[in-house]
Amino acid sequence: MAARRKPFSRSAFSAAAASFSGAVRAFIADPIGPGTLAAMDGHTELPLVCSARKCRAPAAFALHWNNPALHPPERRKTWLACVEHRASLTDFLTARGFLREVEELPAS
C-alpha cells in the first residue's frame, strides 16, 4: 500500500509563495499607500489625493489639524479631502476638537 501524499504538496507551497511575493510586489508598487502617508505628514508635493480610506479622488480641501495630546500647539497635521469626503473627515476632526483650519485647494 503506497503512502498517501501529504496534502500540502510542494507545488501547492510554491504557488502560495509565488502569490505571496506577488502581493508584496503589488504593495510596494502601489503609489497610493506611501503617498497617502506622506500627505498625512504634511508633504503635499505628491499628487493631491483624498486621505479618506480607499478614496483616490483628487483632493479639493486640506484639513489642518492638531491633536493636543500628541502634538505641540504649533504643529499641524494635514488631511486631504475630496468634495465627497470633506464633511465626514471634517466631522471626525471636529468631534475630537482637532480641526484647526480648512483650506480650499485650487482646482487643478
Contact range with Zn ion by CB under 5 A, out of 16-24, 32-40, 55-63, 68-76: 55-63
Residues 7-46 that bind Zn ion (CB under 5 A): none
CA distance 2 to 90: 67
Task: Tell me the site size for Zn ion, rule CB under 5 A.
Answer: 6
Angle, CA 68 vertex, CA 96 and CA 58 arms, to 5°: 60
Residues 66-95 that bind Zn ion (CB under 5 A): 82, 85
In angstroms, give the least distance from the CB of 67 to Zn ion.
Answer: 21
Q: What strand order describes the sheet that includes 77-81?
A: 77-81, 61-65, 99-104
Q: For 104, phi and psi rounded to 5 degrees?
A: -85, 125
Measured from the CB atom, is 63 or 85 closer to Zn ion? 85
Residues at the contact surface with Zn ion, assessed by CB under 5 A: 50, 52, 55, 57, 82, 85
